[in-house]
Amino acid sequence: MSVWLFDLGNTRLKCAPLRADGRAGATMSLPHREEDVAEALAQALPERIEVAYLASVAAPGLRLAVLDALTRRCARIAIARTQARLGAVRIAYADPRKLGVDRFLALLGAHARGEGASLICGVGTALTVDLIDADGRHLGGRIAPSPTLMREALHWRAAQLPEEGGDYVDFAVDTEDALASGCDGAALALIERSLDAAERRLGRRPQLLLHGGGANALRPWLAQAVSAPKLVLDGLAIWAAVERAVPGAA
């Protein structure tokens, strides 16, 4: 049976086949614009898919475009949602609807690694930070603009400030480097401060998991970080397994 996983974010659409062992297979990143997504899916996917599992935090128009394209070739589509608890993972939010499904799935993926407590940092349109302990208890998180969004916002308000370019240095001597250093530095400071707070909370330093399209830019400055680019898709595979076993239970 052909089963596929789809992670539709604010900046990227990622998809992967579900392997026989229940894990996400090789990942593809596809065009993200409403007008391009149907053709991109048609070229990337098999002619027919039995089941598509979709996690989306994108704008309604793009989400509908993806659903329409999938409906043409899928026998069934299941849309992932955040739950108060799934297996050992329990979220900190009183209202599950307020926790983005991408963050929820990343918690599932992190806990399934079996490597103890984790600080999960997603670097996309937003920079998200979530702490989960070794028992699967989500202890809360933080949301901030990502470095990319910071640059875009500065450029929008002050067009003379370039939205790209520059390198991270401690003290820059030109505008491009100063922007890169300030925006990347703000993200790095938030992550490092969160790691310190997590260590105080847990009594030991958690592992740091990085995922998202902007993660590679920060990775060189976080020596302890572990790259986990498929974390949301791994979590979606776990959600899908529960949904397949008891339809409607997940």
Task: Compute the Cα dihedral for 64, 65, 70, 75 and give only its sign.
Answer: positive
HSE-CB at 228 with a 13 A cutoff on CA atoms is 27
Strand ranges (E), the chain: 3-8, 13-17, 28-30, 49-56, 74-79, 85-86, 89-90, 118-123, 126-132, 138-145, 207-211, 225-227
Q: Which of 102, 130, 184, 234 is catalytic?
A: 102
CB 161 within 8 A of CB 175: yes
d(CA 208, CA 194): 10
Is residue 102 part of the annotated active site? The answer reads: yes
Q: Are 23 and 72 in contact (CB under 8 A)?
A: no
Q: Active-site residue numbers? A: 102
